[in-house]
């Protein structure tokens, strides 16, 4: 496996996570970071109540370096999801913080 690179700006909030792509050579790898991980690591996100999708996308932008570092590390270790279309899923207990 090559090191995961983040070359495109695709972001999609699906209600459970923010999806984004990493690239392993010529292959796209669908990644995601859960709502819980974003709430845990971004103090500006409300913990309760309905939060607009735009707020999760803004939190992704604020945490993007840590999210990309975590996705890259999981991919390098082969820690891929077995089920579903997301192959690298970052959950609240694994998001690296600097």
Q: What is the pLDDT of residues 47-81, one digit of tens each?
A: 888 899 999 999 999 999 999 999 999 999 999 99
Residue 97 pLDDT level (bands cut at 50, 70, 90):
low
Distance CA 20, CA 3 (A): 16
Distance CA 73, CA 16 (A): 22
Q: What CATH topology corresponds to 12-90?
A: Double Stranded RNA Binding Domain (3.30.160)
How high is the pLDDT of residue 95? 75
How high is the pLDDT of residue 92? 82
Mean pLDDT of the chain: 92
Burial (CB count within 10 angstroms: exposed 0-12, middle 13-18, buried 19+), residue 27 = exposed
How high is the pLDDT of residue 1? 65
Give mean pLDDT, residues 93-98: 64
Helix (H) or strand (E) holding 55: helix 53-62
Residue 98 has pLDDT above 60, yes or no: no
How high is the pLDDT of residue 2? 75
pTM of the model: 0.91
Structure tokens at 97: 């913080």
Backbone angles phi, psi at 75, to 5 degrees: -65, -45
């Amino acid at each position: 496996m090559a090191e995961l690179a983040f070359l495109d700006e695709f972001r999609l909030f699906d209600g459970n996570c923010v999806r984004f792509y990493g690239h392993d050579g010529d292959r796209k790898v669908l990644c995601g970071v859960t709502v819980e991980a974003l709430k845990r690591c971004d103090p500006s996100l409300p913990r309760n109540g309905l939060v607009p999708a735009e707020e999760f996308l803004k939190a992704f932008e604020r945490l993007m370096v840590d999210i990309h570092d975590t996705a890259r590390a999981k991919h390098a270790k082969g820690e891929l999801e077995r089920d579903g279309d997301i192959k690298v899923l970052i959950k609240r207990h694994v998001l690296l913080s600097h």
